[in-house]
């Protein structure tokens, strides 16, 4: 069986996760995140932006449907409360 990367995973490879985590830690101020990491938020919001989602509920519903692919993006499910 052949392996086919999605376009979104190819776009996420343009953002090195190590550099992203370093910059997020450097620029983060304020309270700690509840459950969601900065990477999880970035993946969710960029997916919402690229897919043209119009609301937070729409983004969280789309991510819930795509939950079997989130492991490959290196993130967990994002809820509306986060």
Mark 34-51 as b/e (b = at least 16 C-beta within 10 Å). Answer: eebbebbebbbeebbeee
List, for residues 67-77, the tens digit of each pLDDT value.
777 777 777 77
Q: Are 17 and 49 in contact (CB under 8 A)?
A: no
Is 2 inside any structural domain?
no
Q: Which domain holds residue 63?
A: 7-73
What does pLDDT average to in each consecutive run of 10 residues of the chain (82 residues)? 70 87 82 75 86 86 80 72 66
Does a structural domain hold residue 62? yes
For residue 33, is it within any domain? yes
The answer to whether the beta carbons of residues 22 and 36 sit under 8 Å apart is no
Residue 41 contacts residue 78 (beta carbons within 8 Å):
yes
pLDDT of residue 19: 92
The pTM (predicted TM-score) of the whole model is 0.73
């Amino acid at each position: 069986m052949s392996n086919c990367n999605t376009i979104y995973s190819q776009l996420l490879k343009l953002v090195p996760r190590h550099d992203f985590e370093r910059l997020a830690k450097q620029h983060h101020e304020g309270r700690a995140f509840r459950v969601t990491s900065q990477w999880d938020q970035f993946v969710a919001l960029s997916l919402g932006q690229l897919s043209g989602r119009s609301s937070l509920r729409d983004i969280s519903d789309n991510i819930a449907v795509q939950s079997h692919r989130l492991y490959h993006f290196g993130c967990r499910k994002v809820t509306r409360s986060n």
